[in-house]
Every structure is written in C-alpha cells, then in structure tokens.
Structure 1
Amino acid sequence: MNPEKSEAPAPLKVGAVGIGWAGQQHLKAYSTIPGVEIVAVAGMEEELLLALQAEYAVPHAFLRWEDMIGHQELDAISVAVPTFLHAPIAVAALERGLHVLSEKPLARTADEGRTMVAAARKAGRVLDVAFNHRRRGDIQKLKSIIDAGELGRPYYAKASWLRRTGIPRLGSWFTNPQLSGGGPMADIGVHVLDYALHLLGEPKVLSVSATVHAELGPRGRGGSARFSPMSAEHAFEVEDFASAFLRLEGGATLLVEAGWASYREMDDVIDFMVYGTDGGAELKAKGSPSAPVGELTIFTDRDGENADYMPEAQPGRGHQAVVEDFVKIVRGGESVWGDHDGSLALSRAEIIDACYQSAREAKEVRL
C-alpha cells in the first residue's frame, strides 16, 4: 500500500523593517511560530542589525528597506519604523504582493492611511496594524463582561494613558509633526481610542471636540532616560497632553485622554471607566504598559443589594498575539484577506485627524 501523504504547507517567509523595541517584538514573535521563517531584516543601526541577524539566524540583512522588500523570497513583512515611513514602505510592499503588519498609528494622516488601504485592496493582500493593548488580559476580561450584557447598555466611558515624564526622545522625530503626525494623541492616544471603542463594541463616532496642550515639552521638561536620551534634532512642535470628547452613535459618549507629560503621580496609568444601565466598571493598570494585569472592578447589584466584585484576569500576550493572528490571517487565504485591509486602523486615523482639527479650530468636528 502506498497511502497518499499530505504535504506540509510551505513555510511562510517573513521579514521585518525596523529593529527598535517594536521591531524586536515582531522578530521574537515570528521566531516562535511553527512554519514561519524569518528570511530578511532591515535597519539603519548596523551593529544592532548584525546582532539581531545572528540572534535569529536571519539569512539576509539590509540597511535599506527598499532593498529588503525587493527580496524575492518574502511573503509578508512587519513595518516597525517612524510613522512617516509607514505609508511608503507598506504601499511598496503591497504593490509587490506582500502582506503587511504595521505598527501603530496606521499613518501620519487619514489621507496617507487611505493610500495604504487602497493599495491593500488593489493587491488583494492583508494590511493589519499592531493594536497590542486591546490584547491585554484585563481588557479582554472586561470585554467579555460587557459583551455578556452584565453592564446593560454603556452610555458613558472615559479612557486614558497618562505619563509624568514620558516624552519619547525630546527633539527627535516623535516631536516633529511632519514625521510623527502628532504628539501623544497620535502616539499613545490611538491605543486608548482603539481599546475603548473595542470595549464598547465599535460604535460609530459621530463627532469630536478636542483640546491639545504643549506646556512642558517646549521648555525641555517631561523627558526621561527611560525613553532614550534627549536629542536636539528637531524643535518640540507637537502637544504633550490631549483630551477629546467623542459623541457616539446611539447617544453614548467617550472621553479620551493621552499625556506624555504632566505633573501627576510618577507611575504611568492606563485606565478605562464605563457606566452602563445595569452596572459599571473601572480598570486601572498602574505602571503601564509594564504592569501585566491591572485592577478591575465591576459595580453592580443583585436584588437591590450591592454585588460589586473584582474578576481575575490573566496577563495578555501583546505583540505575540498580534503577530500570531496576522500569520493566521495570511494563512487563511484569499477568502479572509479582504476583511483585513486596514479599514479599522483607518477609522482610528480619521478620528485622530478630527481631534487635531477640532483643537486647531476650537470647535466640534463631525465625522
């Protein structure tokens, strides 16, 4: 007898552009997934590039991203570089038929994001964005509670990510709007916006009213060695604190705060608070994003009596889960690729654009 043998699927060959912290998270995740081969890596820091090439046994290393995406063996790439490079790299890769997983935000502006989404649709390839904070275990636990209807209909929510001395590299590309797209609203506020709307069930945002402040960064305050040394390449031309009031379809409202620097307690905090018709919830993760699990409290009653409780949540898997899902989608074939064209990340970019417009014009902006 000669029973037919099923052939193992061909390995998925991936590469990474960008070798900073985020790029290293992608490399680490890819290296743990069976059937995935890291065949190329690109970065401008030659010493680090060669060290990562050796650590992950990557056969090809490039100083220029243009050379890497021209590599014939690639099926997919991760893009983990400064924001102004997201669109050119992603579009070039998609046009070559590669699937793309990009770091957040999608792009500097919604217009740039639209070119990326259009390229993904034209190529029939996946464009995904690494929103890793929605993968936190405490956020996933709260999501399951809200989805189960325990809180009834949410009607007001507040979410924030606040730092005291967390401006990433004062005077670097982060603080130049032409390179970054904005300050903390674009950098960490997009995470807050993403996990908040995810928790609320993706309601449509009808309008935003936002303010931004640049009180510490322009005076050289609010930076920290934790986020890398000070730099003098660029002036501080973005905000260091932003807040936005969002009106949601169905009547609910959401307040979002994002701050790199303000005079507050030293520990960073990521939080989310929601009031619903049958209950409420509060999540606070101090020391974030390093804190693996925050403190989650559910406020409710049973038969007129207080029934508040604190559910347990497991640590999330962050970039590991993001990369695993990306690989699963790519392996899912053309029947699923069309559902992952970057549209969700584009909706976040449109809201961020509206926030900055509202702050500039001092008025509410409808989407």
Structure 2
Amino acid sequence: MSNQQPETLKVGVVGIGWAGQQHIKAYKGIEGVELVAVAAMEADLLASLKDEYAIPHTFARWEDLIELEGLDAVSVAVPTFLHAPIAIAAMETGLHVLSEKPLARNGVEGQAMVDAARKAGRVLDVAFNHRRRGDIQKLKGIMDAGELGRPYYAKASWLRRSGIPMLGSWFTNPELAGGGPLADIGVHVLDYSLHLLGEPKVLSVSAATHSELGPRGLGGNARYSAMKSSHKFEVEDFATAFLRLEGGGTLILEAGWAAYREETDLLDFTVYGTDGGAELRAVGASMAPVADLRIFKEKDGENADYEVVAEPGRAHDAVVEDFVNAVRGGPQEWGAHDGSVALSRALVLDACYRSALEHREVAL
C-alpha cells in the first residue's frame, strides 16, 4: 500500500464471531469504505454473511486475505493467541490493522505488534469500545473540565454472576486467551479507568486471582456458553487488583466472570477527587446502553449533588470510524496510532498476573 491515500478505502475482516460481525456492520456504514473480503473458518456462516453484506471475496485462510491486491486495512477479530501473528503479517504486507482487545496474550507479543507497526509505518489500533460509551465520555468531559478537582482514588469493575464465556472453549485456556476475566473484560475496565483519570502512569500493582466456580463446571449459562470444546478450565474466574498511580492516586479493579452475587451484570466506576466525586453504574453492563451517572459536589457548605443524563455511545461503530479516520489522516497521523496505549494495558495485566502468582506487589 502506498502512502498516497485512495479515495475508496478497501478493508477486510478476519473472524466472524460477535466482534467480527460488529466490524463488518461498522465498515458497511461508512461512506467511502468498501468491505472487500472476510476470512473465517465457519463456512456456513461465512457464506451467509457474504450474501447479506455483498462481500466480494471470502477466504477460509487469513493468509489469503492479507495478500489480496488493493487491500488497505484489516480488522483482526479472532481468539487472542492469533492477534500477534495475523497483525504482524498484515502490517509487514503494508496493511493498517484494527485488532480486537486485548492487544495480545502478553506484553512481549504486544511489543512485537507495536514494533511491527512502527517499522511498517502503519496504524495499529485496538477496539476499546467501552471508552466510547456515551456515559463514560460525558464523565470524561466533566473530569477534564476540572469539576472534580484532582482525582486521588478510583474503583471500577465488571462483574457477572454466571458469565464464563463459552465454558470449555479457547476463552478458558491460558495458552489461547492469555488469561481469564482480567484479560477478557478486565482490560476494558482498566482502559476506561485510566482514560477517565487522564492516563496516569501505573507504578505498581498488587493483584489476586481466584478460580473457584469454573473448574467445577459452574458459572456458565446459555448466553455465554454457546460453544463447547475439550479445553479444561485453566484460568481465573475472578480477579482483583490494587494499582498505585503516579502522583499518589490509587485504582482498584475487579473483574469477574462468575461469583455468587446479583444476577444482573454490573459495569461501574467510582472516583473521589479533591473537589468532587462521581459514581457511574451500568446495571446490565454492556447490555445497558446508558449508565446511572451521579456527580457529588458541595456548594456553600451544602451538598450539591446532581445526576447526569448521557446519550448511548456508538461502541464498535465509533471504534471503526476512529480507525478509518486515522488511516485517512495520512502518514502524519499514523505515528500517533501505533498500539502503544494498548501495549501499556497489556504490561499492567502482565504485572497483575505475576503479582497474583508470586503473592507480592510488582513494580512496572
């Protein structure tokens, strides 16, 4: 691909699970973008999507897709262990890459992806769609305006009662997934929390992981367990981490696929600042388009709390649109999209898993 941007951006998608289908829909909705190819192993579903979205080329092998002449960019929406090999090969071919989260199984693979993006001079973005929630963006605006003062403590979580994804699938194999809920949904919590807090550097972590329900065949349900395989349950089903931040702040994270708690999933964020506080609660987690958002303030010695109403976010539509805009921005824009933010998240997760394994605080 040359540095001269074509009028029509030609894109492909690798993977047609839930995430891959979100990318397909998003690309089809952007003017000047042509979805020319999709690669996946599920032949029947691939044929159905080819007809539904009028996709010119379909492949069983991703290697064939990235060699397609005239292709400009590709979305990688496959199991985590495939992110690095596909993304690196695509960037070496000259393609821009939008990868699903997490960036990779670990920081070593993530660094290799970032290095490949920098060497090729191509965009590497990662789909952190939850920071694009309307309520999180609204809270971000309030915090950036200084309304809460300096944030010094935050607590955030994504918790499920019976939400182990595809119990017995690649999700529960550490070699394929890189980890359990901390890597799967916890990376979203980590991302939107640090995003809201203004990207403070994480100095150290102290974490614990638990695997109490999954190994006993508990904690899955029809919604999350659509696929069975022979993989044992070898990851955590609950994780918690205490993060020390530059400037003296602290952040506590919780990520759980399964626990004896309320039936409805919860995604939340609480922050205390020197001039105010905030609490965001999405009961229903990702299925709740708008969270309850309350701001806690004081005026003239009296409580001056108020509720904020936000619009639903655009999730993957916004993520894909951002990626397309970055690619269209040309070489002067590409360097700012090298995957380094996603790499920083991967390094924090690595430190959390090491801390849990060694029962000690780990410095980054």
TM-score range, shorter chain: over 0.9
Sequence identity (%): 74
Q: What is residue 307 of structure 1 aligned with on the other side?
A: 304
> What is the CA-CA distance between 1:341 and the residue it aligns to?
0.4
Counterpart of 1:283, as a letter, is L
Q: Deviations over 1:50-105 (max 9, x none)?
A: 11111111110001111111111210000000000000000000000000000000
1:24 maps to 2:21: yes
Q: Separation in 2 of the partners of 1:310 and 1:29? A: 31
> What is the CA-CA distance between 1:9 and the residue it aligns to?
5.2
Q: What is residue 166 of structure 1 aligned with on the other side?
A: 163
Name the TM-score, length of structure 2 as normaliser: 0.98
Counterpart of 2:35, as a letter, is I
Counterpart of 2:269, as a letter, is F
Q: What is residue 273 of structure 1 aligned with on the other side?
A: 270
- 2:154·2:250 contact (CA, 8 Å) conserved in 1? yes
Q: Separation in 1 of the partners of 2:200 and 2:229? A: 41
- 2:164·2:225 contact (CA, 8 Å) conserved in 1? no
Counterpart of 1:45, as a letter, is E
Q: 1:315 is paired with a residue of what secondary structure?
A: coil
> What is the CA-CA distance between 1:313 and the residue it aligns to?
0.5
Q: 1:77 is paired with a residue of what secondary structure?
A: strand
Q: Separation in 2 of the partners of 1:205 and 1:314? A: 31
> What is the CA-CA distance between 1:231 and the residue it aligns to?
1.9
Counterpart of 1:166, as a letter, is G
- 1:164·1:262 contact (CA, 8 Å) conserved in 2? yes
1:197 maps to 2:199: no
Q: What is residue 280 of structure 2 aligned with on the other side?
A: 283
Q: Separation in 1 of the partners of 2:224 and 2:22? A: 17
Q: Separation in 1 of the partners of 2:92 and 2:9? A: 18
Counterpart of 1:60, as a letter, is H
- 1:223·1:230 contact (CA, 8 Å) conserved in 2? no
Unmatched runs of 5 consecutive residues or more in structure 1: 1-7
Q: Separation in 1 of the partners of 2:8 and 2:226? A: 40
Q: 2:306 is paired with a residue of what secondary structure?
A: coil
Question: Which residue of the other structure, out of 75, 78, 81, is the alignment partner of 1:81?
Answer: 78
Q: What is residue 148 of structure 1 aligned with on the other side?
A: 145
Q: Deviations over 1:166-208 (max 9, x none)?
A: 0001111000000000000000000000000000000000000
- 2:239·2:256 contact (CA, 8 Å) conserved in 1? yes
Counterpart of 2:60, as a letter, is L
> What is the CA-CA distance between 1:230 and the residue it aligns to?
5.4
Q: Separation in 2 of the partners of 1:119 and 1:313? A: 38
Question: Which residue of the other structure, out of 43, 49, 55, is the alignment partner of 1:52?
Answer: 49
Counterpart of 2:270, as a letter, is M
> What is the CA-CA distance between 1:233 and the residue it aligns to?
1.4
Q: What is residue 122 of structure 1 aligned with on the other side?
A: 119
Counterpart of 1:348, as a letter, is R
- 1:160·1:258 contact (CA, 8 Å) conserved in 2? yes
Question: Which residue of the other structure, out of 334, 348, 352, is the alignment partner of 2:349?
Answer: 352
1:338 maps to 2:335: yes
Counterpart of 2:26, as a letter, is A
Q: Separation in 1 of the partners of 2:328 and 2:201? A: 30
Q: Separation in 1 of the partners of 2:238 and 2:46? A: 34
1:106 maps to 2:103: yes
> What is the CA-CA distance between 1:152 and the residue it aligns to?
0.6
Q: Separation in 1 of the partners of 2:228 and 2:176? A: 15
Unmatched runs of 5 consecutive residues or more in structure 2: none
Q: What is residue 38 of structure 1 aligned with on the other side?
A: 35
Q: CA RMSD in A?
A: 0.9
Q: What is residue 185 of structure 2 aligned with on the other side?
A: 188
Q: Separation in 2 of the partners of 1:34 and 1:97? A: 23
How many positions carry a matched residue from both structures?
A: 360
Counterpart of 2:308, as a letter, is P
Label 1:81 to 1:141 Cα distance change in 2 as closer, same or farther (>3 A). same
> What is the CA-CA distance between 1:232 and the residue it aligns to?
3.7
Counterpart of 1:309, as a letter, is Y
> What is the CA-CA distance between 1:253 and the residue it aligns to?
0.1
Counterpart of 2:136, as a letter, is I
Question: Which residue of the other structure, out of 321, 339, 363, is the alignment partner of 2:360?
Answer: 363
Q: Separation in 2 of the partners of 1:258 and 1:146? A: 24
Q: 1:141 is paired with a residue of what secondary structure?
A: helix
